[in-house]
Amino acid sequence: MPYSLKVGAIQCHILNDGLHPADGGGFFGVVPRLLWSRVIQPNADNMIPSDTRSLLIESDAGLILVDTGNGDKLRAKDRQRLGFAGRTDRLVGELRRVGYQPSDVDVVILTHLHGDHAGGATRWDTPDHTPGPVVATFPNARYLCQRLDLAEASFPNERTLATYHRENWQPLIENGQLQVVDGPQRIDVNVRTDIAPGHTAALQMVWVEHGGESLLFLGDACNWAVQLNRLAWVPAFDLFPMTSIETKRRIRQEAYERNTLLVFQHDAQVVTGRLVAGDRGPEVKPEITEEAWTDMGL
């Protein structure tokens, strides 16, 4: 179910490509299960629910989409494993629910090129979602990704190989839709990106700012709200965990001082929240919440 909210006068929508099970140890790294299971209870396979949220911004520069979820090009056995069998067009369906078509999107910002963020950037050009020619899901959009991130994705190592799928971005290079950028970018007067290294070398978050209000779409700079409360709680997925801690320290201070609305991309319980003073420093006070494991009818 999409959530619509305003940042100043800027209309935003939080969309979702769907919830899938993910390994709890992956999300909480060296934190003992005894501790993180108090925040989110895993199932018998030690899996926890992971959402794949996107942000849609109705900006002066046009319609901006941040991240594209897993998309529909996964192999049948992966779709089965993630609980997506028989369900297609999840993100596009959410887009339609807030009144837009894929052709309406002007800019797609890819926070990074991991499969659960960039998978929906392209699609198979077949009527029944079976394998076929790969085309842009958003045919009129300019897609933005960081040069360092594209380099990592293009030349993965043994650890990162499984999450990078060339078909998610290569067709966009070939048809001229991928704009490769270096460092923070201003998309328009109210929307900009910010580099948040740690999860990857050049992860880009997105700020929306208007009328003294601000929203920060964190991407994988902080997956779960509790990871902002406890800076040492860093996912095992992060390539540079000590850098992740410093990135979170910076984000937390700035977001606290500005009373920023934070959007969590994977947290199955806390969709949005703001930082308030807590015993150990600023901590997230949830605003929009969901029940873990429910999929909101996607």
Q: What is the binding site for Zn ion (CB under 5 A)?
A: 114, 220
Q: Which residue is nearest to Zn ion (CB)?
A: 114
Strand partners, 7: 10
Task: Round to the nearest angstrom and report the end-to-end CA distance of the chain.
Answer: 7
Nearest-angstrom CA–CA distance, 263 and 41? 22
Sequence-distant (6+) residues with CB within 8 A of 86 are none
CB of 297 to Zn ion, least distance (A): 26
Place of tokens 């100043």: 8
Closest CA relative to residue 178, chosen from 220, 134, 146, 218: 146
Min separation Cβ 199 and Zn ion, Å: 6
Q: If you search the block for the tokens 């999860």, which residue do you land on?
A: 199
Rounded Cα distance between 152 and 112, Å, is 10
Compare residues 27 and 138 and give the one whose CB is closer to Zn ion: 27
Residue 149 CB, shortest distance to Zn ion, in Å, is 10
Nearer to Zn ion, 209 or 220 (CB): 220
Longest CA–CA separation in the chain, Å: 55
CB of 198 to Zn ion, least distance (A): 11
Spatial distance between the Cα atoms of 157 and 160, rounded to a whole number of angstroms: 5
For the CB of residue 163, give the shortest distance to Zn ion in the complex, in Å: 7
Nearest partner of 205 among 248, 159, 142, judged by Cα? 248
d(CA 285, CA 272): 9
- Name which of 214 and 265 has its Cβ closer to Zn ion: 265
Task: Give the shortest CB-218-to-Zn ion separation in angstroms.
Answer: 12
Cβ-based nearer residue to Zn ion, 118 or 178: 118
Q: How far is the CB of 120 from Zn ion (least distance, A)?
A: 14
Q: Which two tokens stand for residue 41?
A: 């209870």
- Closest to Zn ion by CB, 22 or 63: 22
Q: Which is nearer to Zn ion, 21 or 62 (CB)?
A: 21
- The nearer residue to Zn ion, 117 or 142, going by C-beta atoms, is 117
Closer of 23 and 104 to Zn ion (Cβ): 23
For residue 174, what are the contacts with CB-CB under 8 A and spacing of at least 6?
none
Phi-psi region of 201 (alpha: psi -120 to 50; beta: other; left: phi over 0): alpha
